[in-house]
Amino acid sequence: MNDTSVKNPLRRGAVLAASLAAAGLLGLGGAPAALAHDTLLSSTPEAGAELDEAPEQIELTFSADIGDGGNAVVVNDPSGKNHAVGEPAVDGPDATVELDELTEAGDYTVAYRMVSSDGHVVEDDFSFALTEDAVAGAEQDGASAEESPASGESAGDGGEQAAGDGASEAPAPSSDPVSLFGPVGGAVIGIALIALVAVVVLRLLRNRSGGSGGDGA
């Protein structure tokens, strides 16, 4: 056995080991991309924002489309009350949840649970704050809404009063027989008056005739 025959297997083993090592490094380099899951890219309101006006909804945008089922968003006020209404509406990578009225100043926590496009569950939370001005504005809007029906009632009272005034100004009933009894009633009354006049005339004629006869005798 010569030195060349011994060196060739050693070289082959060294080359094989180097190839395996290189393949292993390439596999490790691609692992982070393969294991990466969807993440939250942005939100409205933004994390850490301090707002002078209370939001009506929360919008979340992720790095890929959101899957169906198992999605949830909770928005808790400083007292721990949840203000999220129903389940989030999903449109591709965007998720939106409506809020009821936010009436307390302080920090609000948005906690979300989303099913990513690869089936992995993404869970995290962030917070934003409402100032006293935001709460005062919401209370003022509510007070204005409550006063609106009262204005309507005042208008209704004015309408009733106007209707009453109109009723008091209605014309007095007419003394005209035709107006009181209608065309037929007026005709009957006219015939009765003519008959009465005829009776009076006949009586006068009879009285005159009787007087004339008495003088001739």
Antiparallel, parallel or unpaired: β 50-51 and 94-99: unpaired
The reported pTM is: 0.52
pLDDT tens-digit profile, the chain (217 residues):
555 554 565 566 555 555 545 445 444 444 444 455 689 999 999 999 999 999 999 999 999 999 888 899 999 999 999 999 999 999 999 999 999 999 999 999 999 999 987 888 999 999 999 999 998 876 666 555 566 555 445 445 555 554 455 545 555 555 555 455 555 556 666 677 777 777 777 777 777 766 555 554 4
Give all strands (DSSP E) within the chain, no chain letters.
40-44, 50-51, 57-62, 72-76, 84-91, 94-99, 106-115, 121-130
Q: What span, in angstroms and rounded, lies between the C-alpha atoms of 114 and 93?
A: 10
Single-letter residue type at 18:
A
Buried b (16+ CB within 10 A) or exposed e, 72-103: ebebbbeeeeebbeeebebeebebebebeebe
Q: What span, in angstroms and rounded, lies between the C-alpha atoms of 55 and 59?
A: 10
Quote the pLDDT of residue 115. Answer: 93
Q: Which residue has the tokens 């100004």?
A: 169
From the list 48, 162, 53, 60, the residue with the least C-alpha distance to 108 is: 48
Quote the pLDDT of residue 78. Answer: 97
Q: Which residue has the tokens 């850490």?
A: 48
Quote the pLDDT of residue 89. Answer: 95
Distance of CA 39 to the CA centre of its chain: 32
CB 184 within 8 A of CB 176: no
Quote the pLDDT of residue 197. Answer: 72
Antiparallel, parallel or unpaired: β 106-115 and 72-76: antiparallel
Give how far Cα 161 sits from Cα of 26, 149, 153, Å.
90, 18, 12
Q: What are phi and psi of 41, to 5 degrees?
A: -90, -40
Q: What residues contact 122, with CB distance under 8 A and at least 6 apart?
A: 37, 38, 39, 40, 62, 112, 113, 114, 115, 116
Quote the pLDDT of residue 8. Answer: 60
Quote the pLDDT of residue 114. Answer: 95
**Count of beta carbons in the 10 Å neighbourhood of residue 56:** 11
